[in-house]
Amino acid sequence: MELDDLKPTWQKSQPTTTSNTDIMQLIQHKTYGPVAALKKAFRKQIILMGIIPVYFILINTNDLPHVLNSVILWAYIAFCIGVIVFSYYNYRMVTKMESMDNLVKANLEQQVNLLETRMKWKKAGLVIALAFFILLTEIVPYFQHYRMLDKWHALHPAIRFLIYAALFALQYFANTWVNERRYGRHLSYLKELANEMH
């Protein structure tokens, strides 16, 4: 079969799907793509992380001085701020991925680059968050929440650190699994296509 012989037929051919689409109506729709879904998820995350600490303070207004002196609350607020910053960074990143009018090759390379960077930052962010909470669990009972000293800190340090190590391992495998499920195949597919461009 010679392609050139079929060119005239190809150019004359009408697509099988010629529904009478209302273009004006179509453009009023929101995009359902994964980038839009990610943006929505990050927006929700930002709002939620902003609301939760405020809600926590509001329900404890009776005991406000005590609550405001809680190291755990401030640590949690710091964590929420961290998540907000990270979500905002991600939001900006996926916004860049929305631009579809670049050259095909440049667009593919950009998508691969952004997804890889996002995954790297997510990995680092999770490790930092976990280390932060472990540090908090280890240090806070010496200043506040002294009851923890009789419970968690009563365990042999070797056991506690083994559990922390297990948490790091679990976090690593869970993150790898989630990444693979959500972006892994897509990223491999994009990389494969980007390689085809050389």
Partner 1 sequence: MQKQEAEKEFEKHIREQELLLRKVCRIYAYTDADREDLFQEIVIQLWKAWPRFKGHSKLSTWLYRVAINTAISGLRKKKNFIRNYEPAAMPEPVSEHIGVDDEEERLQLLYHAIEQLNAVEKTIVMLYMDDRPYEEMEEIIGLSQGNLRVKMNRIKEKLRELTKNY
Residues that bind partner 1 (CB under 8 A): 1, 3, 6-7, 9-11, 13-19, 21, 23-24, 26-27, 29-36, 97-108, 111, 181-183, 185-186, 189-190, 192-193, 196-197
Q: Which of 112, 132, 96 is nearest to 187 (CA)?
A: 112
Query: What's the rounded Cα separation, in Å, for the pair 41 and 43?
Result: 5
Q: Which is nearer to partner 1, 11 or 62 (CB)?
A: 11
| Nearest distance in Å: CB 37, partner 1 | 9
| Nearest distance in Å: CB 123, partner 1 | 18
Q: Which is nearer to partner 1, 101 or 150 (CB)?
A: 101
Please give the DSSP secondary-structure letter assigned to residue 126.
H
| Nearest distance in Å: CB 183, partner 1 | 6
Q: Which is nearer to partner 1, 1 or 159 (CB)?
A: 1
Q: Which of 107, 119, 90, 91 is nearest to 190 (CA)?
A: 107
Q: Which is nearer to partner 1, 69 or 117 (CB)?
A: 117
Residues 6+ apart with CB under 8 A from 104: 197
| Nearest distance in Å: CB 41, partner 1 | 12
Query: What's the rounded Cα separation, in Å, for the pair 193 and 145?
Result: 55
Query: What's the rounded Cα separation, in Å, for the pair 93 and 75?
Result: 27
